[in-house]
């Protein structure tokens, strides 16, 4: 449906299908016509690409993706939206809707079956109640994808895109920077959604690295150290890691020293290389 970004068309579609929004499913649909074309264009929706969309709503973004990419496979959990999508996406023969929970979908299998011979990217206006689990799943699964472009809460976007070694960073920043190069693309005001949420949003893109940084022997341990390091905000690396991981403080201090870091260093001061060096030193000591 070409004029789907028009608010009166959206209202009409929703009313005809007696659709009521589910807060629990994070249903805030985009009604600002300028946003979806930008997400699609900046999110690699173009010739040669297959796009995975997570959470279609009534298909506003799906429309823009389908116009530009070779194929779109969209995963939507709410079965009440299936008849709506059958109407709003009727003109496209390059869109497939899967009525499922993205967290329970085998994306490796989906990519192998649906996107042969294409590059693949993810584009989505994410349901905010599971932003982090979805992002971590997309990255940690090491899917053969080029980029992940998503709308997230503004605060989450700041944390996700914080450069390593800065105050805004957290454990998720370490994981994001390990697997990708993050970029904050643009802000979106709360008034661009229906119903309007009580936070502003932003669109971020993660360009997936061909190769993850060198030197990590055990990824699971590395991310455990990252989570431990940021488990208590404003504490030193030594205090956070020893208390959250239950490791003797003298051992953590030894690892800090061996990494050439000051004894009182705070986790948010570390670069990726320093995090890797510290985590490897700690791994060898325990
Ligand atoms: N893309 C649409 C838009 O921009 O208007 C809708 C975005 S809305 C923020 C999030 C969508 O994700 C909703 O349609 C919701 O039903 C769907 N959703 C929520 N949890 C999901 C899950 N676990 N798996 C797949 N879709 C989910």
The ligand 1 site (C-beta within 6 Å) comprises 25-30, 54-57, 60-61, 75-78, 101-103, 125, 127, 130
Q: Yes or no: say if 271 and 165 are a contact pair by the CB < 8 Å rule.
A: yes
Q: What is the ipTM for the molecules in this complex?
A: 0.99
Q: Is 113 known to sit in a ligand binding site?
A: no
pTM listed for this prediction: 0.94
Q: Yes or no: say if 66 and 59 are a contact pair by the CB < 8 Å rule.
A: no
Residue 116, helix vs strand vs coil: coil
Please write the tens of the pLDDT for every residue from 149-185.
999 999 999 999 999 989 888 899 999 999 999 999 9
Per the rule left: phi > 0, alpha: psi between -120 and 50, beta: everything else, 152 is beta
Q: Yes or no: say if 206 and 145 are a contact pair by the CB < 8 Å rule.
A: no
Please write the tens of the pLDDT for every residue from 71-114.
999 999 999 999 999 999 999 999 999 999 999 999 999 999 99
Q: Write out the DSSP string of 56-101.
A: -TTTHHHHHHHHHSSEEEEEE--GGGHHHHHHHTTT-SSEEEEES-
- Helices 219-229, 171-179: axis angle to 10 degrees equals 150
- Domains of the chain (ranges; CATH) run 7-208 (3.40.50.150), 219-285 (1.10.8.100)
Please tell me the residue having the least CA distance from ligand 1 atom 3. Answer: 29
């Amino acid at each position: 449906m070409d004029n789907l970004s028009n608010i009166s068309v959206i209202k009409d579609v929703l009313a005809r299908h007696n659709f009521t929004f589910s807060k629990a499913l994070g249903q805030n649909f985009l009604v600002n016509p300028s946003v979806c074309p930008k997400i699609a264009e900046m999110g690699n929706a173009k010739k040669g690409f297959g796009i995975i969309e997570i959470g279609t709503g009534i298909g506003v973004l799906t429309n823009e993706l389908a116009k530009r990419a070779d194929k779109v496979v969209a995963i939507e959990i709410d079965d009440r939206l299936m008849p709506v999508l059958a109407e709003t996406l009727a003109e496209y023969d390059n869109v497939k809707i899967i009525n499922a929970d993205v967290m329970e979908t085998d994306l490796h299998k989906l990519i192998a079956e649906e996107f042969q011979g294409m590059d693949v990217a993810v584009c989505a206006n994410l349901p905010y109640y599971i932003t982090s689990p979805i992002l971590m799943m997309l990255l940690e699964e090491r899917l053969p994808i080029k980029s992940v472009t998503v709308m997230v809460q503004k605060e989450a976007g700041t944390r996700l895109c914080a450069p390593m070694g800065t105050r805004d960073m957290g454990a998720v920043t370490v994981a994001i920077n390990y697997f990708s190069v993050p970029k904050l693309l643009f802000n979106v005001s709360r008034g661009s959604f229906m119903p309007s949420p009580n936070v502003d949003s932003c669109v971020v893109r993660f360009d997936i690295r061909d190769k993850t940084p060198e030197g990590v022997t055990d990824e699971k341990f590395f991310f455990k150290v990252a989570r431990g390091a940021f488990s208590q905000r404003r504490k030193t690396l030594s205090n956070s890691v020893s208390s959250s991981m239950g490791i003797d403080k003298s051992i953590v201090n030894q690892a800090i020293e061996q990494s050439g870091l000051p004894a009182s260093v705070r986790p948010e001061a570390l670069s990726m290389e320093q995090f890797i060096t510290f985590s490897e030193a700690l791994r060898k000591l325990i």
